[in-house]
Amino acid sequence: MIELVEDLDRARGRMAELRRAGLSIGFVPTMGALHDGHLSLIRRARAECDRAVVSIFVNPTQYDDPADLERYPRTLAADLEKAEAAGADLVIHPDAGALYRDGYRYRVHETEASRELEGAHRAGHFDGVLTVVLKLLNIVGADRAYFGEKDWQQLELVRGMAAAFFLGTQIVACPTVREPDGLAMSSRNIHLTPAERALAPELYRILASGAEPAEIARRLATAGFGVDYVERRGARLLAAVRLGKVRLIDNVEA
């Protein structure tokens, strides 16, 4: 039976008990509304560690649009069932007031990579992401934490933060999980209308075409997407587009 812990002091105590017992801990931070992408991370954590711990917390500090925060689906009961079936042993589900006892006065602010791509379009987003991830990593004290490659910029920033602050948790990258038609799995996909959902897989198809970024941006716009960016970073080609009220991101190896 999966264990649900909502009190942060209790969560810290349970993690300490696991470490005292000599058990390795794999950690998967999520905002809930779990899909197969999240579940693949949980399964890998369980395969590589003695215990798999999941957090479910819709983090308010990473949103610049209150309406977007309100739209995020809260499906705790279903999430617990899915997490348990994937092999999770414990779920941490904290209250925002407890996690931000300081009122968000103290935060992590990266000064370079967080200002571009997603950061250029979502003010303060990565401050909120990095701050909550640091808090959760400190609470859990996991041996490994698992992040999907779909959010490539986030993954790179978390890796950099873990190294900069000498965190003991290894950050593990996991491949993007896609629908059969190629669309990267995301909790936002449920907000797509049927017509938008039919068009959405074109993002991946065009992005993976091998064309140059400017040509990819042109093709996406012609197909009906609002294009925020298509840019190359090292060995990755990253894109963000809009379909109606939904913003989609994806990336492929360049």
In one-letter notation, the amino acid at residue 220 is L
38 is catalytic: yes
- Note the pLDDT tens digit of each residue in 73-100: 999 999 999 999 999 999 999 999 999 9
- Residue 98 has a pLDDT of 97
Claim: this prediction has a pTM higher than 0.85: yes
Burial of residue 56, with CB atoms counted within 10 A of its CB: 0-12 exposed, 13-18 middle, 19 or more buried: buried
d(CA 40, CA 31): 15
DSSP state for residue 46 in the 8-state scheme? H
**In Å, what is the CA distance from 148 to each residue of 71, 151, 153, 176?**
22, 6, 11, 6
Sorting pLDDT into bands at 50, 70 and 90, what band is 222? Answer: very high
For residue 69, give the 3-state DSSP assignment. helix
- Residue 65 has a pLDDT of 87
Burial of residue 74, with CB atoms counted within 10 A of its CB: 0-12 exposed, 13-18 middle, 19 or more buried: exposed
Q: How far is it between the farthest Cα atoms of the chain?
A: 58
- Residue 124 has a pLDDT of 96
Residue 91 CA from chain centroid, whole number: 16
Calculate mean pLDDT across residues 180-197: 97
Tell me the CA end-to-end span of the chain in Å, nearest whole number: 43
- Note the pLDDT tens digit of each residue in 7-25: 999 999 999 999 999 999 9
Structure-block tokens of residue 109: 């602010």
Sorting pLDDT into bands at 50, 70 and 90, what band is 238? Answer: very high
Element (H, E) at 79: helix 76-86
Calculate mean pLDDT across residues 198-206: 98
Please, what is the average pLDDT of the chain?
97
Dihedral of the alpha carbons of 241, 243, 247, 252, in degrees to the nearest 10: -40
Domain architecture of the chain: domains with CATH: 3-174 (3.40.50.620), 187-246 (3.30.1300.10)
Structure-block tokens of residue 84: 């348990």
Contact indicator for 29, 136 with CB cutoff of 8 Å: yes
Structure-block tokens of residue 191: 């907000």
Given the residues 38, 93, 121, 125, select the one marked as catalytic.
38
